[in-house]
């Protein structure tokens, strides 16, 4: 149904713009009914299984996977951008202290703004594609350094300077812990980061593109995206999925705990997704990553997954509910030694590359994103009352 008011045609759309196509993109897509998603023309899961994070970063920024020489050059280029400007490093203790219980993700919003100013980022509207590309690389390379430094400062530890000889994922773990990680852990985190680089027009990606459509600088676009990600309905579930495992506790409590929640209509964290009506392909891949480590925690998670699906089939026949990416992401990050308060920031350390690709694509379109809202208040105009 359409309603004409003041020569503006308003069109009814679903709440939250669900299913509404708002633009064209070549970055990637999610095909939820098929249980498949891709970055450009490649399966995202296959990329996570076979390529490095830097290769996939190159794909999203340049539109193609690099050969061996191109990959090495890109790794060297981005690794050289990890160190922070002196002005930003000097401000991090104050930012970490002010962030308090909000943590590194909140602090990163301020730090990204400062980084953009220190690096002289200009509005994407005013610079050429090469300048935009440079700014996204500078910002994305700095995000793991910012997050690790803010975490360590918040814990009363000195920041660890980045190393250029380590991969993106290994360097991130090194800066968090102060020790070079085992290859198995570095690869597991790398696969997680690759699997979550991009995922359609989620809230944070859309926010980044809205800000980019105004012509703002790259740092402003990323700050908007981080703000959207900070909401618990978007980026806060990996640690909550682990809370589910903790609440169940032991194998003998699985069935009664699940039955109670299902019958009460409660949400089971780590299950269900707004897009997928089949198994989340990211969850399937991360389950395999977790099972490479093995151990009681992994076995318990797999059994919880199996029983949730079985009990739902019994109590709610026809209802499709499978594990989402957060369920096994939490297990994998825990196995790799990441503290729970760093689960969502770690997600941001990968997603910043997807945001960057979308910012670059949006910046090439000079049309500002400017939807309208339907006014449903008291009918206007009403005379303004006079003050006696």
CA 53 – CA 78 distance, rounded (Å): 11
Three-state SS annotation for 176-228: HHCCCCCHHHHHHHHHHHHHCCCCCCCHHHHHHHHHHHCCCCHHHHHHHHHHH
Structure tokens that stand for 159 in this block: 């920041």
Of the residues 190, 305, 326, 334, only one is catalytic, namely: 326
Structure tokens that stand for 384 in this block: 């303004």
- The yes-or-no answer on residue 326 being catalytic is yes
Of the residues 273, 305, 322, 334, only one is catalytic, namely: 273
- The yes-or-no answer on residue 322 being catalytic is no
Peptide bond connecting 381 to the previous residue in cis, omega within 30 degrees of 0: yes
CA 45 – CA 225 distance, rounded (Å): 24
- Cα–Cα distances (Å) from 86 to 98, 116, 118, 149, 285, in that order, read 19, 13, 9, 13, 40
Q: Give the DSSP letter string of 312-353.
A: HHHHSTT----B-HHHHHHHHHHHTT--GGGHHHHHHHHHHH
Which residues have a catalytic role annotated?
273, 326
């Amino acid at each position: 149904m359409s309603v004409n008011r003041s020569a503006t045609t308003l069109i009814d759309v679903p709440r939250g713009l669900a299913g509404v196509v708002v633009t064209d993109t070549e970055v990637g897509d999610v095909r939820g009914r098929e249980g498949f998603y891709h970055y450009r023309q490649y399966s995202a899961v296959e990329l996570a299984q076979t390529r490095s994070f830097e290769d996939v970063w190159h794909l999203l920024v340049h539109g193609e996977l690099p050969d061996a020489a191109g990959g090495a050059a890109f790794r060297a280029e981005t690794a050289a951008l990890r160190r922070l400007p002196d002005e930003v490093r000097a401000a991090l203790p104050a930012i970490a202290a002010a962030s308090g219980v909000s943590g590194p993700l909140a602090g990163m919003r301020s730090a990204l703004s400062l980084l953009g100013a220190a690096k002289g980022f200009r509005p994407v509207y005013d610079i050429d594609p090469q300048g935009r590309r440079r700014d996204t690389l500078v910002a994305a390379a700095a995000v793991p350094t910012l997050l690790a430094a803010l975490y360590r400062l918040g814990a009363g530890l000195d920041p660890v300077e980045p190393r250029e000889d380590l991969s993106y994922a290994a360097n991130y773990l090194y800066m968090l812990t102060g020790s070079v990680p085992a290859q198995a852990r570095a690869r597991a985190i790398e696969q997680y980061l690759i699997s979550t680089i991009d995922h359609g027009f989620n809230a944070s990606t859309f926010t980044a593109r809205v800000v980019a459509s105004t012509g703002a600088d790259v740092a402003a676009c990323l700050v908007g995206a981080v703000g959207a990600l900070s909401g618990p309905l978007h980026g806060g579930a990996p640690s909550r999925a682990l809370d589910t495992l903790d609440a169940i506790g032991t194998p003998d409590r699985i069935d009664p705990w699940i039955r109670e929640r299902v019958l009460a209509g409660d949400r089971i964290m780590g299950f269900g997704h707004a897009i997928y009506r089949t198994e989340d392909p990211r969850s399937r891949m991360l389950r395999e990553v977790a099972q490479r480590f093995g151990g009681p925690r992994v076995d318990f998670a797999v059994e919880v997954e199996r029983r949730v699906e079985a009990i739902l089939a019994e109590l709610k026949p026809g209802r499709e509910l499978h594990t989402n990416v957060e369920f096994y992401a939490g297990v994998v990050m825990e196995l790799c030694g990441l503290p729970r308060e760093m689960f969502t920031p770690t997600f941001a350390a990968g997603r910043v590359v997807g945001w960057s690709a979308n910012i670059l694509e949006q910046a090439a379109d000079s049309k500002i994103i400017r939807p309208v809202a339907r006014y449903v208040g008291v009918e206007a105009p009403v005379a303004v009352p006079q003050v006696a």
